[in-house]
Protein backbone atom coordinates (compact mmCIF):
# COMPACT_ATOMS: atom_id res chain seq x y z
CA UNK A 1 0.00 0.00 0.00
CA UNK A 2 1.58 3.28 -1.08
CA UNK A 3 1.60 6.60 0.74
CA UNK A 4 -1.20 8.09 -1.39
CA UNK A 5 -3.53 5.15 -0.65
CA UNK A 6 -2.77 5.45 3.05
CA UNK A 7 -3.53 9.18 3.04
CA UNK A 8 -6.77 8.62 1.10
CA UNK A 9 -7.85 5.89 3.55
CA UNK A 10 -6.91 8.10 6.49
CA UNK A 11 -8.93 11.11 5.30
CA UNK A 12 -11.88 8.98 4.25
CA UNK A 13 -11.82 7.47 7.71
CA UNK A 14 -11.75 10.93 9.30
CA UNK A 15 -14.82 11.97 7.28
CA UNK A 16 -16.82 8.81 8.06
CA UNK A 17 -15.77 8.92 11.70
CA UNK A 18 -16.87 12.54 11.96
CA UNK A 19 -20.27 11.58 10.56
CA UNK A 20 -20.57 8.62 12.96
CA UNK A 21 -19.54 10.84 15.89
CA UNK A 22 -22.12 13.51 15.10
CA UNK A 23 -24.85 10.95 14.44
CA UNK A 24 -23.85 9.02 17.56
CA UNK A 25 -23.98 12.10 19.77
CA UNK A 26 -27.40 13.03 18.41
CA UNK A 27 -28.61 9.49 19.11
CA UNK A 28 -27.12 9.64 22.59
CA UNK A 29 -28.64 12.97 23.62
CA UNK A 30 -31.72 13.28 21.35
CA UNK A 31 -32.71 9.71 20.41
CA UNK A 32 -36.40 10.33 19.66
CA UNK A 33 -35.77 13.45 17.59
CA UNK A 34 -33.02 11.66 15.66
CA UNK A 35 -35.24 8.66 14.89
CA UNK A 36 -38.02 10.96 13.72
CA UNK A 37 -35.60 12.96 11.54
CA UNK A 38 -34.05 9.85 9.97
CA UNK A 39 -37.46 8.23 9.45
CA UNK A 40 -38.94 11.28 7.79
CA UNK A 41 -35.83 11.65 5.62
CA UNK A 42 -36.29 8.05 4.48
CA UNK A 43 -39.99 8.76 3.82
CA UNK A 44 -39.05 11.72 1.61
CA UNK A 45 -36.58 9.56 -0.34
CA UNK A 46 -39.28 6.90 -0.79
CA UNK A 47 -41.70 9.58 -2.01
CA UNK A 48 -39.15 10.68 -4.63
CA UNK A 49 -38.76 7.05 -5.70
CA UNK A 50 -42.54 6.93 -6.07
CA UNK A 51 -42.56 10.11 -8.18
CA UNK A 52 -39.73 8.78 -10.35
CA UNK A 53 -41.63 5.53 -10.91
CA UNK A 54 -44.80 7.40 -11.82
CA UNK A 55 -42.83 9.60 -14.21
CA UNK A 56 -41.28 6.51 -15.77
CA UNK A 57 -44.71 4.91 -16.11
CA UNK A 58 -46.32 7.99 -17.65
CA UNK A 59 -43.46 8.60 -20.12
CA UNK A 60 -42.94 4.98 -21.20
CA UNK A 61 -42.53 4.33 -24.92
CA UNK A 62 -44.98 1.47 -25.27
CA UNK A 63 -48.26 3.14 -24.21
CA UNK A 64 -50.32 0.18 -25.44
CA UNK A 65 -48.79 -2.06 -22.82
CA UNK A 66 -51.21 -1.88 -19.88
CA UNK A 67 -48.91 -3.24 -17.19
CA UNK A 68 -45.54 -1.80 -16.27
CA UNK A 69 -43.51 -2.87 -13.24
CA UNK A 70 -42.59 0.74 -12.44
CA UNK A 71 -46.16 1.42 -11.31
CA UNK A 72 -45.84 -1.41 -8.74
CA UNK A 73 -42.57 0.05 -7.42
CA UNK A 74 -44.23 3.44 -7.23
CA UNK A 75 -47.18 2.17 -5.23
CA UNK A 76 -44.96 0.20 -2.84
CA UNK A 77 -42.73 3.27 -2.39
CA UNK A 78 -45.75 5.47 -1.75
CA UNK A 79 -47.19 3.11 0.86
CA UNK A 80 -43.80 2.74 2.55
CA UNK A 81 -43.28 6.52 2.50
CA UNK A 82 -46.65 7.16 4.14
CA UNK A 83 -46.14 4.48 6.79
CA UNK A 84 -42.64 5.63 7.65
CA UNK A 85 -43.60 9.31 7.65
CA UNK A 86 -46.60 8.91 9.95
CA UNK A 87 -45.12 6.10 12.09
CA UNK A 88 -41.42 7.03 12.32
CA UNK A 89 -40.78 4.60 15.18
CA UNK A 90 -41.16 1.69 12.73
CA UNK A 91 -37.62 2.45 11.61
CA UNK A 92 -36.18 1.76 15.08
CA UNK A 93 -35.59 -1.89 14.26
CA UNK A 94 -33.93 -1.21 10.93
CA UNK A 95 -31.50 1.52 11.96
CA UNK A 96 -29.29 -0.61 14.26
CA UNK A 97 -29.13 -3.44 11.71
CA UNK A 98 -28.23 -1.05 8.89
CA UNK A 99 -25.61 0.74 10.97
CA UNK A 100 -24.20 -2.59 12.17
CA UNK A 101 -23.75 -3.69 8.55
CA UNK A 102 -22.13 -0.34 7.68
CA UNK A 103 -19.72 -0.61 10.63
CA UNK A 104 -18.69 -4.11 9.62
CA UNK A 105 -18.26 -3.19 5.95
CA UNK A 106 -16.29 -0.05 6.82
CA UNK A 107 -14.03 -2.08 9.10
CA UNK A 108 -13.56 -4.86 6.55
CA UNK A 109 -12.37 -2.27 4.04
CA UNK A 110 -9.38 -1.83 6.33
CA UNK A 111 -8.35 -5.48 6.14
CA UNK A 112 -5.79 -4.67 3.41
CA UNK A 113 -3.84 -2.21 5.55
CA UNK A 114 -4.14 -4.63 8.48
CA UNK A 115 -2.57 -7.42 6.41
CA UNK A 116 0.16 -5.02 5.34
CA UNK A 117 0.97 -4.21 8.98
CA UNK A 118 1.29 -7.92 9.75
CA UNK A 119 3.37 -8.53 6.63
CA UNK A 120 5.70 -5.67 7.49
CA UNK A 121 5.83 -6.84 11.15
CA UNK A 122 4.98 -3.37 12.43
CA UNK A 123 4.96 -2.76 16.17
CA UNK A 124 1.32 -1.59 16.31
CA UNK A 125 -0.13 -4.67 14.60
CA UNK A 126 -1.41 -6.22 17.86
CA UNK A 127 -3.20 -3.05 18.98
CA UNK A 128 -4.60 -2.50 15.50
CA UNK A 129 -5.82 -6.10 15.31
CA UNK A 130 -7.54 -5.72 18.70
CA UNK A 131 -9.26 -2.51 17.54
CA UNK A 132 -10.28 -4.24 14.32
CA UNK A 133 -11.86 -7.11 16.28
CA UNK A 134 -13.66 -4.73 18.67
CA UNK A 135 -15.05 -2.75 15.75
CA UNK A 136 -16.38 -5.94 14.09
CA UNK A 137 -17.94 -7.05 17.41
CA UNK A 138 -19.70 -3.68 17.79
CA UNK A 139 -21.25 -4.13 14.35
CA UNK A 140 -22.28 -7.71 15.11
CA UNK A 141 -23.95 -6.66 18.37
CA UNK A 142 -26.12 -4.22 16.46
CA UNK A 143 -27.09 -6.81 13.85
CA UNK A 144 -27.78 -9.77 16.13
CA UNK A 145 -29.62 -8.09 18.96
CA UNK A 146 -31.25 -4.82 17.88
CA UNK A 147 -34.52 -5.43 19.70
CA UNK A 148 -32.98 -6.43 23.03
CA UNK A 149 -31.21 -3.11 23.13
CA UNK A 150 -34.52 -1.38 22.36
CA UNK A 151 -34.89 -0.11 25.93
CA UNK A 152 -32.03 2.32 25.46
CA UNK A 153 -31.14 1.24 21.96
CA UNK A 154 -30.53 4.59 20.40
CA UNK A 155 -28.50 5.90 23.30
CA UNK A 156 -26.52 2.66 23.18
CA UNK A 157 -26.18 3.10 19.43
CA UNK A 158 -24.92 6.64 19.99
CA UNK A 159 -22.27 5.35 22.40
CA UNK A 160 -21.23 2.63 19.93
CA UNK A 161 -20.99 5.07 17.01
CA UNK A 162 -18.98 7.56 19.02
CA UNK A 163 -16.68 4.83 20.38
CA UNK A 164 -16.35 3.33 16.91
CA UNK A 165 -15.43 6.69 15.40
CA UNK A 166 -12.70 7.24 17.98
CA UNK A 167 -11.33 3.71 17.43
CA UNK A 168 -11.43 4.20 13.68
CA UNK A 169 -9.42 7.42 13.85
CA UNK A 170 -6.86 5.79 16.19
CA UNK A 171 -6.55 2.76 13.92
CA UNK A 172 -6.11 4.89 10.79
CA UNK A 173 -3.57 7.04 12.60
CA UNK A 174 -1.62 3.88 13.48
CA UNK A 175 -1.82 2.74 9.85
CA UNK A 176 -0.61 6.09 8.60
CA UNK A 177 2.29 6.27 11.07
CA UNK A 178 3.44 2.73 10.30
CA UNK A 179 3.24 3.11 6.54
CA UNK A 180 4.91 6.55 6.40
123-173 pLDDT per residue, tens:
777 887 888 888 888 888 878 876 555 446 677 777 888 888 888 888 877
Cα–Cα distance, 158 to 152 (Å, whole number): 10
CB 159 within 8 A of CB 26: no
Angle at which helices 125-144 and 94-108 pack, to 10 degrees? 160
Banded pLDDT at 16 (limits 50, 70, 90): confident
**How confident is the model at residue 153, as a pLDDT?**
67
Query: Which runs of E-coded beta strand occur in the chain?
Result: none
- Reported as a single tens digit per residue, the pLDDT across 91-104 is 777 777 887 888 88
**How confident is the model at residue 119, as a pLDDT?**
80
Q: Name the residue range of residue 10's domain.
A: 3-179
**How confident is the model at residue 65, as a pLDDT?**
65
State how many domains the chain has. 1
**How confident is the model at residue 20, as a pLDDT?**
81
- Reported as a single tens digit per residue, the pLDDT across 30-49 is 877 877 888 888 889 889 88
**How confident is the model at residue 165, as a pLDDT?**
83
Average model confidence (pLDDT) for the chain? 79
Helix-strand-coil split of the chain, %, nearest 5? 85, 0, 15
Amino acid sequence: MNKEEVNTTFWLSIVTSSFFTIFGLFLLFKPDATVTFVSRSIAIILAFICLFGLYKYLTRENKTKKFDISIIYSLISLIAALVVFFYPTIIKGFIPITIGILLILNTLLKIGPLKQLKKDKMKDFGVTLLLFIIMIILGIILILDPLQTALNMFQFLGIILTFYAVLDVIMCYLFKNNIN
